[in-house]
Protein backbone atom coordinates (compact mmCIF):
# COMPACT_ATOMS: atom_id res chain seq x y z
CA UNK A 1 0.00 0.00 0.00
CA UNK A 2 1.28 3.48 -0.89
CA UNK A 3 0.31 6.41 1.31
CA UNK A 4 0.77 9.98 0.11
CA UNK A 5 1.28 12.74 2.67
CA UNK A 6 0.42 16.13 1.18
CA UNK A 7 1.81 19.27 2.82
CA UNK A 8 4.53 16.90 3.94
CA UNK A 9 6.89 19.59 5.20
CA UNK A 10 4.13 21.40 7.08
CA UNK A 11 3.74 21.50 10.83
CA UNK A 12 1.41 18.52 10.88
CA UNK A 13 2.25 16.79 7.57
CA UNK A 14 5.91 16.37 8.52
CA UNK A 15 4.91 14.66 11.75
CA UNK A 16 2.48 12.41 9.84
CA UNK A 17 5.44 11.23 7.72
CA UNK A 18 7.42 10.37 10.85
CA UNK A 19 4.48 8.64 12.50
CA UNK A 20 3.78 6.53 9.40
CA UNK A 21 7.43 5.47 9.22
CA UNK A 22 7.43 4.69 12.94
CA UNK A 23 4.33 2.54 12.52
CA UNK A 24 5.92 0.56 9.72
CA UNK A 25 3.71 1.83 6.89
CA UNK A 26 4.62 0.20 3.57
CA UNK A 27 5.43 2.93 1.06
CA UNK A 28 5.24 6.53 2.14
CA UNK A 29 5.31 9.27 -0.50
CA UNK A 30 5.68 12.92 0.51
CA UNK A 31 4.44 15.88 -1.53
CA UNK A 32 6.58 19.00 -1.22
CA UNK A 33 7.36 22.15 -3.23
CA UNK A 34 11.09 21.66 -2.85
CA UNK A 35 12.30 18.08 -2.42
CA UNK A 36 15.90 19.14 -1.73
CA UNK A 37 15.08 21.70 0.96
CA UNK A 38 12.54 19.32 2.50
CA UNK A 39 15.28 16.80 3.44
CA UNK A 40 12.75 14.08 4.19
CA UNK A 41 13.90 10.90 5.94
CA UNK A 42 15.45 7.98 4.06
CA UNK A 43 12.89 5.54 2.78
CA UNK A 44 10.34 8.22 1.87
CA UNK A 45 9.51 8.66 -1.82
CA UNK A 46 9.45 12.36 -2.59
CA UNK A 47 7.00 13.88 -5.08
CA UNK A 48 7.27 17.46 -6.19
CA UNK A 49 4.16 19.64 -5.92
CA UNK A 50 1.69 21.59 -3.81
CA UNK A 51 -2.07 21.26 -3.35
CA UNK A 52 -2.69 24.73 -4.76
CA UNK A 53 -0.73 23.94 -7.97
CA UNK A 54 -2.90 21.43 -9.82
CA UNK A 55 -0.36 20.85 -12.61
CA UNK A 56 1.72 17.86 -11.71
CA UNK A 57 -0.57 16.49 -9.01
CA UNK A 58 -1.77 13.64 -11.26
CA UNK A 59 1.80 12.28 -11.33
CA UNK A 60 2.11 12.57 -7.54
CA UNK A 61 -1.15 10.63 -7.10
CA UNK A 62 -0.16 7.76 -9.40
CA UNK A 63 -0.16 4.44 -7.57
CA UNK A 64 -1.39 6.00 -4.31
CA UNK A 65 -3.96 4.08 -2.25
CA UNK A 66 -4.54 6.45 0.65
CA UNK A 67 -3.60 10.02 1.45
CA UNK A 68 -3.33 12.55 4.22
CA UNK A 69 -4.91 15.75 2.90
CA UNK A 70 -3.50 19.02 4.20
CA UNK A 71 -5.98 21.91 4.25
CA UNK A 72 -6.22 23.89 0.98
CA UNK A 73 -9.93 24.82 0.74
CA UNK A 74 -9.70 26.82 -2.50
CA UNK A 75 -8.45 23.92 -4.67
CA UNK A 76 -9.82 20.96 -2.72
CA UNK A 77 -12.55 19.97 -5.20
CA UNK A 78 -10.11 19.75 -8.13
CA UNK A 79 -7.48 18.02 -5.99
CA UNK A 80 -9.95 15.32 -4.99
CA UNK A 81 -11.12 14.82 -8.58
CA UNK A 82 -7.49 14.27 -9.63
CA UNK A 83 -6.94 11.89 -6.72
CA UNK A 84 -10.03 9.86 -7.56
CA UNK A 85 -9.11 9.69 -11.25
CA UNK A 86 -5.66 8.40 -10.26
CA UNK A 87 -7.18 5.59 -8.19
CA UNK A 88 -6.74 6.93 -4.66
CA UNK A 89 -9.24 5.12 -2.43
CA UNK A 90 -9.20 6.90 0.92
CA UNK A 91 -8.51 10.30 2.39
CA UNK A 92 -7.72 11.38 5.94
CA UNK A 93 -8.22 15.14 5.94
CA UNK A 94 -7.34 17.92 8.35
CA UNK A 95 -10.49 20.01 8.31
CA UNK A 96 -13.31 21.19 10.58
CA UNK A 97 -17.05 21.28 11.16
CA UNK A 98 -19.12 22.11 8.05
CA UNK A 99 -20.17 25.52 9.38
CA UNK A 100 -16.57 26.59 10.13
CA UNK A 101 -13.65 27.95 8.10
CA UNK A 102 -12.30 24.48 7.23
CA UNK A 103 -15.73 22.96 6.59
CA UNK A 104 -15.37 23.23 2.81
CA UNK A 105 -12.59 20.65 2.96
CA UNK A 106 -14.71 18.16 4.94
CA UNK A 107 -17.78 18.65 2.75
CA UNK A 108 -15.77 18.28 -0.47
CA UNK A 109 -14.13 15.09 0.79
CA UNK A 110 -17.51 13.58 1.65
CA UNK A 111 -18.94 14.57 -1.74
CA UNK A 112 -16.06 13.21 -3.84
CA UNK A 113 -16.86 9.53 -3.51
CA UNK A 114 -13.65 8.40 -1.75
CA UNK A 115 -13.53 6.75 1.68
CA UNK A 116 -12.79 9.35 4.34
CA UNK A 117 -11.88 10.16 7.92
CA UNK A 118 -12.01 13.77 9.07
CA UNK A 119 -9.63 15.16 11.69
CA UNK A 120 -11.22 18.12 13.45
CA UNK A 121 -8.76 19.58 15.94
CA UNK A 122 -9.47 22.46 18.27
CA UNK A 123 -6.76 24.76 19.63
CA UNK A 124 -3.14 23.62 19.04
CA UNK A 125 -0.52 23.66 21.82
CA UNK A 126 1.82 25.04 19.15
CA UNK A 127 -0.33 28.19 19.01
CA UNK A 128 1.34 29.24 22.26
CA UNK A 129 4.50 29.78 20.17
CA UNK A 130 2.94 33.14 19.32
CA UNK A 131 4.03 34.20 22.84
CA UNK A 132 7.65 33.10 22.39
CA UNK A 133 8.90 36.49 21.26
CA UNK A 134 7.14 38.38 24.07
CA UNK A 135 8.51 35.96 26.61
CA UNK A 136 12.05 36.23 25.25
CA UNK A 137 12.03 40.00 24.93
CA UNK A 138 9.85 41.12 27.88
CA UNK A 139 9.58 38.04 30.08
CA UNK A 140 5.77 38.40 30.18
CA UNK A 141 2.64 37.77 28.10
CA UNK A 142 0.15 40.54 27.32
CA UNK A 143 -3.39 39.38 26.54
CA UNK A 144 -6.90 40.59 27.28
CA UNK A 145 -8.68 37.53 28.73
CA UNK A 146 -6.80 35.45 31.35
CA UNK A 147 -9.84 33.29 32.14
CA UNK A 148 -10.90 32.13 28.66
CA UNK A 149 -10.05 28.50 28.13
CA UNK A 150 -9.44 25.80 25.56
CA UNK A 151 -8.27 22.19 25.53
CA UNK A 152 -5.19 22.50 23.29
CA UNK A 153 -3.81 19.42 21.56
CA UNK A 154 -0.21 18.72 20.50
CA UNK A 155 0.24 18.60 16.72
CA UNK A 156 2.16 15.36 17.19
CA UNK A 157 -0.97 13.76 18.67
CA UNK A 158 -2.95 14.90 15.62
CA UNK A 159 -0.28 13.34 13.41
CA UNK A 160 -0.40 10.09 15.39
CA UNK A 161 -4.18 9.96 14.96
CA UNK A 162 -3.79 10.70 11.23
CA UNK A 163 -1.30 7.85 10.80
CA UNK A 164 -3.52 5.47 12.78
CA UNK A 165 -6.56 6.38 10.67
CA UNK A 166 -4.55 5.91 7.46
CA UNK A 167 -3.38 2.46 8.50
CA UNK A 168 -6.59 1.01 9.93
CA UNK A 169 -10.13 0.43 8.70
CA UNK A 170 -11.62 1.44 12.01
CA UNK A 171 -12.25 5.15 11.52
CA UNK A 172 -13.66 5.08 8.01
CA UNK A 173 -16.59 7.49 7.62
CA UNK A 174 -15.92 9.13 10.99
CA UNK A 175 -15.28 12.73 12.01
CA UNK A 176 -12.73 12.68 14.80
CA UNK A 177 -13.03 15.76 17.03
CA UNK A 178 -9.61 16.11 18.60
CA UNK A 179 -8.71 18.04 21.74
CA UNK A 180 -6.07 17.83 24.41
CA UNK A 181 -6.40 16.18 27.81
CA UNK A 182 -7.38 19.18 29.94
CA UNK A 183 -9.14 22.51 29.79
CA UNK A 184 -6.67 25.30 30.53
CA UNK A 185 -7.20 29.03 30.79
CA UNK A 186 -4.84 31.40 29.01
CA UNK A 187 -3.37 32.30 32.42
CA UNK A 188 -2.77 28.62 33.20
CA UNK A 189 -1.01 28.07 29.88
CA UNK A 190 1.34 30.95 30.64
CA UNK A 191 1.93 29.65 34.18
CA UNK A 192 2.81 26.20 32.83
CA UNK A 193 5.24 27.71 30.32
CA UNK A 194 6.85 29.45 33.30
CA UNK A 195 7.14 26.15 35.16
CA UNK A 196 8.87 24.61 32.13
CA UNK A 197 11.21 27.59 31.80
CA UNK A 198 11.95 27.66 35.53
CA UNK A 199 10.79 31.24 36.09
CA UNK A 200 7.54 33.05 36.62
CA UNK A 201 6.04 34.58 33.48
CA UNK A 202 3.53 37.26 34.44
CA UNK A 203 0.23 37.34 32.54
CA UNK A 204 -0.42 41.05 32.05
CA UNK A 205 -4.08 41.79 31.37
CA UNK A 206 -4.32 44.42 28.63
CA UNK A 207 -6.91 45.79 26.21
CA UNK A 208 -7.58 44.09 22.86
CA UNK A 209 -5.65 46.85 21.09
CA UNK A 210 -2.59 46.45 23.33
CA UNK A 211 -2.69 42.68 22.85
CA UNK A 212 -2.68 43.14 19.08
CA UNK A 213 0.42 45.35 19.38
CA UNK A 214 2.12 42.78 21.63
CA UNK A 215 1.40 39.97 19.15
CA UNK A 216 2.13 41.92 15.97
CA UNK A 217 5.92 41.32 15.92
CA UNK A 218 5.26 37.58 15.96
CA UNK A 219 2.06 37.42 13.90
CA UNK A 220 2.07 40.47 11.64
CA UNK A 221 -1.32 41.46 10.28
CA UNK A 222 -2.93 38.26 11.59
CA UNK A 223 -2.63 39.57 15.17
CA UNK A 224 -5.81 41.71 14.96
CA UNK A 225 -7.77 38.87 13.38
CA UNK A 226 -6.52 36.48 16.05
CA UNK A 227 -7.44 38.66 19.02
CA UNK A 228 -10.89 39.49 17.65
CA UNK A 229 -11.95 36.14 16.24
CA UNK A 230 -10.02 33.41 17.99
CA UNK A 231 -9.72 34.86 21.50
CA UNK A 232 -13.12 36.50 21.11
CA UNK A 233 -14.58 33.15 20.00
CA UNK A 234 -13.16 31.36 23.03
CA UNK A 235 -15.11 33.69 25.30
CA UNK A 236 -18.31 32.33 23.81
CA UNK A 237 -17.33 28.72 23.07
CA UNK A 238 -15.08 27.06 25.62
CA UNK A 239 -13.80 23.75 24.23
CA UNK A 240 -14.01 20.55 26.26
CA UNK A 241 -11.50 17.70 26.00
CA UNK A 242 -13.05 14.94 23.94
CA UNK A 243 -11.17 11.88 25.12
CA UNK A 244 -10.86 10.77 21.51
CA UNK A 245 -7.03 10.75 21.49
CA UNK A 246 -6.75 8.07 24.22
CA UNK A 247 -9.58 6.11 22.61
CA UNK A 248 -7.85 6.08 19.24
CA UNK A 249 -4.22 5.79 20.32
CA UNK A 250 -4.64 3.69 23.46
CA UNK A 251 -2.52 6.12 25.50
CA UNK A 252 -3.12 9.51 27.11
CA UNK A 253 -2.90 12.64 25.00
CA UNK A 254 0.24 14.73 25.58
CA UNK A 255 -0.27 17.23 28.42
CA UNK A 256 0.59 20.91 28.01
CA UNK A 257 3.13 20.61 30.83
CA UNK A 258 4.92 17.84 28.90
CA UNK A 259 4.69 19.76 25.62
CA UNK A 260 6.09 22.89 27.27
CA UNK A 261 8.99 20.94 28.79
CA UNK A 262 9.79 19.55 25.33
CA UNK A 263 9.71 23.03 23.73
CA UNK A 264 11.66 25.08 26.27
CA UNK A 265 14.27 25.95 23.64
CA UNK A 266 11.63 27.65 21.47
CA UNK A 267 10.81 30.09 24.28
CA UNK A 268 14.23 30.49 25.87
CA UNK A 269 16.47 31.33 22.91
CA UNK A 270 17.95 34.83 23.01
CA UNK A 271 16.04 37.39 20.95
CA UNK A 272 17.45 37.81 17.46
CA UNK A 273 15.77 41.02 16.49
N1 LIG B 1 -9.43 23.09 13.40
C2 LIG B 1 -8.31 23.75 13.13
O3 LIG B 1 -7.74 24.47 13.92
C4 LIG B 1 -7.72 23.59 11.77
C5 LIG B 1 -8.32 22.73 10.90
C6 LIG B 1 -7.75 22.56 9.67
C7 LIG B 1 -6.64 23.29 9.33
N8 LIG B 1 -6.06 24.14 10.21
C9 LIG B 1 -4.85 24.89 9.79
O10 LIG B 1 -4.09 24.01 9.01
C11 LIG B 1 -2.75 24.41 9.04
C12 LIG B 1 -1.89 23.18 9.21
O13 LIG B 1 -0.58 23.59 9.08
P14 LIG B 1 0.51 22.74 8.35
O15 LIG B 1 1.77 23.52 8.51
O16 LIG B 1 0.46 21.36 8.81
O17 LIG B 1 0.04 22.70 6.82
P18 LIG B 1 -0.03 23.82 5.69
O19 LIG B 1 -0.13 25.19 6.27
O20 LIG B 1 -1.08 23.38 4.74
O21 LIG B 1 1.39 23.74 4.97
C22 LIG B 1 1.84 22.53 4.41
C23 LIG B 1 2.86 22.79 3.32
O24 LIG B 1 2.24 23.33 2.17
C25 LIG B 1 3.15 24.20 1.51
N26 LIG B 1 2.61 25.56 1.51
C27 LIG B 1 1.85 26.14 2.48
N28 LIG B 1 1.52 27.39 2.13
C29 LIG B 1 2.07 27.61 0.92
C30 LIG B 1 2.05 28.71 0.00
N31 LIG B 1 1.39 29.84 0.27
N32 LIG B 1 2.74 28.58 -1.15
C33 LIG B 1 3.40 27.44 -1.45
N34 LIG B 1 3.42 26.36 -0.63
C35 LIG B 1 2.77 26.46 0.53
C36 LIG B 1 4.45 24.15 2.24
O37 LIG B 1 5.20 23.08 1.67
P38 LIG B 1 6.77 23.14 1.20
O39 LIG B 1 7.59 23.07 2.46
O40 LIG B 1 6.89 21.95 0.36
O41 LIG B 1 6.98 24.44 0.47
C42 LIG B 1 3.96 23.76 3.65
O43 LIG B 1 4.96 23.19 4.41
C44 LIG B 1 -2.59 25.40 10.17
O45 LIG B 1 -2.39 26.66 9.62
C46 LIG B 1 -3.93 25.33 10.88
O47 LIG B 1 -4.29 26.56 11.42
C48 LIG B 1 -6.60 24.29 11.42
If you take atom 13 of ligand 1, which residue's CA is the nearest one?
A: 11
Helix (H, G, I), strand (E, B) or coil at 48: strand
Distance 121 CA to ligand 1 centre (A): 14
Write the burial class of residue 253 (CB in 10 Å: 0-12 exposed, 13-18 middle, 19+ buried): buried
Q: How confident is the model at residue 237 (pLDDT cuts 50, 70, 90)?
A: low
Q: Using alpha carbons only, how large is the chain's radius of gyration in Å?
A: 19
Q: Give Cβ neighbours of residue 11 (< 8 Å, ≥ 6 apart).
A: 126, 155
Reported as a single tens digit per residue, the pLDDT across 36-78 is 888 899 999 999 999 999 998 999 999 999 999 999 999 999 9
In the predicted structure, residue 258 carries a pLDDT above the cut 50: yes
CA-based max dimension of the chain = 56
The secondary structure of the chain in percent helix, strand, coil, rounded to multiples of 5, reads: 45, 20, 35
Q: Give Cβ neighbours of residue 89 (< 8 Å, ≥ 6 apart).
A: 65, 66, 114, 115
Give the residue with greater pLDDT, 95 vs 35.
95
Q: Residue 238: its pLDDT value, please?
A: 61
Q: How confident is the model at residue 269 (pLDDT cuts 50, 70, 90)?
A: low
Residues above pLDDT 70, as percent of the chain: 96
User: CA-CA distance, 91 to 165, in Å (whole number)?
Assistant: 9
Q: How confident is the model at residue 239 (pLDDT cuts 50, 70, 90)?
A: low
Distance 51 CA to ligand 1 centre (A): 10
Distance 202 CA to ligand 1 centre (A): 32
Output the CA torsion sign for 246, 250, 253, 257: positive
**Across residues 255-271, what is the average pLDDT?**
89
**Across residues 74-85, what is the average pLDDT?**
98
The finding on whether 150 has its CB within 6 A of some atom of ligand 1 is no
The finding on whether 12 has its CB within 6 A of some atom of ligand 1 is yes
Q: Residue 124: its pLDDT value, please?
A: 96
Reported as a single tens digit per residue, the pLDDT across 123-177 is 999 999 999 999 999 999 999 999 999 999 999 999 999 999 999 999 999 999 9
User: CA-CA distance, 234 to 213, in Å (whole number)?
Assistant: 20
Q: How confident is the model at residue 240 (pLDDT cuts 50, 70, 90)?
A: confident
The finding on whether 74 has its CB within 6 A of some atom of ligand 1 is no
Reported as a single tens digit per residue, the pLDDT across 205-216 is 999 999 999 999
Amino acid sequence: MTILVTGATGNIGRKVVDRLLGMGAGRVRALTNDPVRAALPDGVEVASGYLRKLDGLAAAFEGVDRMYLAPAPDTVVDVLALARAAGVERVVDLSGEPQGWWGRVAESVEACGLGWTHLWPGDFMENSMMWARQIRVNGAVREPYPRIASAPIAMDDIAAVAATALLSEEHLGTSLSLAGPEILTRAELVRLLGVALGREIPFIEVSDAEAVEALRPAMGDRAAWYVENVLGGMVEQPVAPTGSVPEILGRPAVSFARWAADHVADFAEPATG
